């Protein structure tokens, strides 16, 4: 009985996925000859299509947003594997950290590093940068906490539960924007039309800035989790 | 500009060879970091600012920290 | 060629000269601590001079402010990193001289852990 229910559930879900895929593929346009080449097309009309001044972000999060979803899934898989192998269920014990001068100077500099990370994330559609780069800069803050102040400080400030919350929140933001694309525009991860504004302002370019924020939190929290689970019992001597 | 590019490519190959050549892991990691920095300069020379930012942050910053923690775990182990 | 460009080129060339002096010091000095000294003092002023020259060269309010912030970041981070390296190599007793009369830093080691 239980097995039968499971089989019925699986077949229902698979039928739903197949129907959604069929609907999505039937929306694809006919093949049009791009006799000028794809890169020329993107350079010419990328700004009109997406409203993003930075064409690389336009390609990453609008034209090829599905590939970016796959990349963040790869990062999720890497984080899951490393945490599964390396987490040893022990309290975080680490060094007392570096000397007073380093602690004080990094205490002054860390808010500016965080500000730079958020700047790179939120201006991804205007200047070079974007979710991945800014996310790694945010992960560097957690690495600084672990090395300079000891990993117990990192555990108290941003516990692994908080990081897990950030990571899943970022991934859910990405997927939610994709589903909103299906509901409003008719295709998965289509750029949301009602969010467009004047080109060059901070809140413009449809859903690209929000996808950037989601990817930034996801990548930053994921890499911080990787580093934390690797460092847990390692740097015991202090320098 | 072409001279600068040739010098940078020679440095790139040199740092990659040195990273393979040395036996000690710490020196190899430092040479990998130098490799990433030279690659960043090359990307900037070809006006690919996004890739340069990603390479500088991931290659020179994050990879070095993760490799350092990895080799310190290897040294603390009793396996050899 | 206005006065502004001349000043910015002068600052950049001075910074580059200091960078060359840094490389000479790293190559010529005998042991860890003197090399660290060359890297800390001269490289910091070289980076700050180059960023100041660039800030004067572009001469736009927000761009110049960002470049000056990068210079201030150098002014903080480079001496701090050098201090960490020197302290770590002192604690590990790397390349200490054979005999010395005064060891002034040993009093300060245990104080700020």
Q: CA distances (Å), C58 to each of A116, A119, C5, C51, C67, in order?
A: 21, 21, 9, 11, 10
For chain C, say whether A105 makes contact (Cβ under 8 Å): yes
- The stretch A156-175 carries a mean pLDDT of 85
Closest Cβ opposite residue A108 in set C76, C88, C91: C76
Q: What is the pLDDT of residue A232?
A: 64
pLDDT category at C15 given cuts 50, 70, 90 is very high
Residues 43-62 of B with CB under 8 A from A: 49-50, 52-54, 57-58, 61-62
Residue A119 placed within a domain: yes
- C73 CB neighbours in chain A (<8 A) are 109, 112
More confident: A216 or C1:
A216
A/B touch flag: 3 or more CB pairs below 8 Å:
yes
Residue C104 placed within a domain: no
Q: Where do the H-state alpha helices sit in chain A? A: 2-26, 38-50, 55-58, 65-86, 100-122, 131-148, 151-157, 160-184, 208-231
For chain A, say whether B13 makes contact (Cβ under 8 Å): no
Residue C101 placed within a domain: no
Closest Cβ opposite residue A128 in set B49, B61, B62: B49
A27 with B21: CB under 8 angstroms? no
- The stretch B13-20 carries a mean pLDDT of 90
pLDDT category at A159 given cuts 50, 70, 90 is confident
Give the residue from chain A lying closest to C72, CA to CA: A109
Q: CA distances (Å), C94 to each of C8, C27, C31, C59, in order?
A: 41, 18, 9, 46
Q: Which domain holds residue C31?
A: 3-96
User: Residue A237 gets which letter from DSSP?
Assistant: S
- The stretch A228-238 carries a mean pLDDT of 61
C83 with C108: CB under 8 angstroms? no
pLDDT category at A233 given cuts 50, 70, 90 is low
Least confident of A95-99, A189-193, B13-17: A95-99
Q: What is the pLDDT of residue A189?
A: 75
pLDDT category at A237 given cuts 50, 70, 90 is very low
- C80 CB neighbours in chain A (<8 A) are 101-102, 105-106
Q: What is the pLDDT of residue C14?
A: 93
Residue C77 placed within a domain: yes
Angle between helices B2-21 and B25-45 (to 10 degrees): 160
Per-residue pLDDT tens over the stretch B38-80:
999 999 998 888 889 888 888 888 888 888 878 877 765 554 4
Rounded to the nearest angstrom, the minimum Cα separation between A169 and chain B is: 23
Q: What is the pLDDT of residue A93?
A: 53
- Residue to substitute from B47, B52, B53, B72, interface A, most A β-carbons within 10 A: B53
pLDDT beyond 80 at C106: no
Beta-carbon count within 10 A of A122 CB: 19
| Number of domains present in the structure of chain A | 1
Return the number of CB contacts < 8 Å for A and B.
48
- Residue to substitute from A105, A150, A238, interface C, most C β-carbons within 10 A: A105
Dihedral of alpha carbons A153, A156, A160, A165, sign: negative
Q: DSSP letters along A180-231, please?
A: HHHHHTSSTTPPPGGG--STTSSS-STTHHHHHHHHHHHHHHHHHHHHHHHH
Q: Which domain holds residue A114?
A: 31-231
Return the number of CB contacts < 8 Å for A and C.
29
A226 with A78: CB under 8 angstroms? yes
Give the residue from chain C lying closest to A106, CA to CA: C77
Say whether A50 sits in a helix, a strand or coil: helix
- The stretch A141-163 carries a mean pLDDT of 80
User: What mean pLDDT value characterizes chain A?
Assistant: 81
Give the residue from chain A lying closest to C77, CA to CA: A105
Closest Cβ opposite residue A238 in set C80, C83, C113: C113
Burial bucket for residue A179 (CB in 10 Å: 0-12, 13-18, 19+): exposed
Per-residue pLDDT tens over the stretch C25-50:
888 888 888 888 888 888 899 999 99
C/A touch flag: 3 or more CB pairs below 8 Å:
yes
- C110 CB neighbours in chain A (<8 A) are none
For chain B, say whether A106 makes contact (Cβ under 8 Å): no
Residue C103 placed within a domain: no
- Residue to substitute from B40, B48, B62, B74, interface A, most A β-carbons within 10 A: B62
Q: What is the pLDDT of residue B80?
A: 42
- Rg of chain C taking only CA atoms, in angstroms: 18
Residue C87 placed within a domain: yes
pLDDT beyond 60 at A216: yes
> What φ, ψ does residue B25 adopt, rounded to 5°?
-70, -35
Residue C20 placed within a domain: yes
User: What mean pLDDT value characterizes chain C?
Assistant: 84
Contact check, Cβ <8 Å, C91/A239: yes
pLDDT category at A235 given cuts 50, 70, 90 is very low
| Number of domains present in the structure of chain C | 1
Closest Cβ opposite residue B62 in set A128, A223, A231: A223
User: Residue C94 gets which letter from DSSP?
Assistant: -
A47 with A196: CB under 8 angstroms? no
Per-residue pLDDT tens over the stretch A32-70:
666 666 777 788 887 877 777 888 888 888 888 888 888
Rounded to the nearest angstrom, the minimum Cα separation between B61 and chain A is: 8
Residue C106 placed within a domain: no
Per-residue pLDDT tens over the stretch A179-189:
888 888 777 77
């Amino acid at each position: 009985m239980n097995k039968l229910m499971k089989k019925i559930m699986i077949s229902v879900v698979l039928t739903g996925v197949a129907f959604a895929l069929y609907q999505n593929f039937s929306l694809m346009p006919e093949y049009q000859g791009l006799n000028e080449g794809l890169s020329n097309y993107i350079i010419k009309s990328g700004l009109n299509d997406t409203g993003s001044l930075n064409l690389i972000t336009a390609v990453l999060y609008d034209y090829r947003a599905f590939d970016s979803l796959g990349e963040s899934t790869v990062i999720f898989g890497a984080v899951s594997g490393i945490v599964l192998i390396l987490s040893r269920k022990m309290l975080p014990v680490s060094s007392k950290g570096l000397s007073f001068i380093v602690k004080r100077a990094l205490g002054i500099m860390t808010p500016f590093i965080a500000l730079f990370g958020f700047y790179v994330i939120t201006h991804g559609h205007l200047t070079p940068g974007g979710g991945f780069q800014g996310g790694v800069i945010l992960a560097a803050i957690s690495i600084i906490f672990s090395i300079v102040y000891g990993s117990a400080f990192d555990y108290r400030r941003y516990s692994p539960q908080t990081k897990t919350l950030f990571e899943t929140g970022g991934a859910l933001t990405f997927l939610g924007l994709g589903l909103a694309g299906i509901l409003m525009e008719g295709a998965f991860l289509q750029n949301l039309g009602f969010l467009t504004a004047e080109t060059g302002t901070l809140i413009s370019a449809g859903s690209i800035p929000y996808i950037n924020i989601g990817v930034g939190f996801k990548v930053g929290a994921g890499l911080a989790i990787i580093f934390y689970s690797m460092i847990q019992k390692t740097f015991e001597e202090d320098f | 500009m072409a001279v600068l590019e040739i010098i940078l490519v020679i440095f790139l190959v040199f740092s990659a060879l040195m990273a393979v050549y040395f036996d000690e892991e710490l020196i190899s990691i430092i040479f990998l970091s130098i490799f990433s920095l030279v690659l960043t300069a090359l990307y900037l020379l070809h006006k690919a600012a996004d890739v340069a930012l990603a390479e500088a942050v991931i290659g020179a910053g994050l990879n070095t920290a993760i490799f350092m923690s990895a080799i310190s775990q290897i040294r603390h182990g009793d396996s050899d | 060629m206005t006065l502004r460009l001349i000043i910015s080129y002068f600052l950049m060339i001075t910074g580059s000269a200091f960078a060359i002096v840094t490389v000479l010091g790293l190559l010529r000095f005998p042991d860890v601590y003197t090399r660290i000294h060359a890297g800390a003092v001269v490289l910091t002023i070289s980076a700050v001079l180059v960023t100041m020259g660039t800030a004067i060269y572009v001469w736009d309010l927000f761009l110049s402010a960002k470049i000056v912030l990068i210079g201030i970041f150098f002014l903080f981070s480079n001496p701090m990193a050098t201090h960490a390296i020197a302290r770590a190599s002192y604690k590990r007793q790397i390349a200490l001289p054979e005999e010395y009369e005064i060891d002034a830093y040993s009093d300060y080691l245990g104080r700020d852990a």
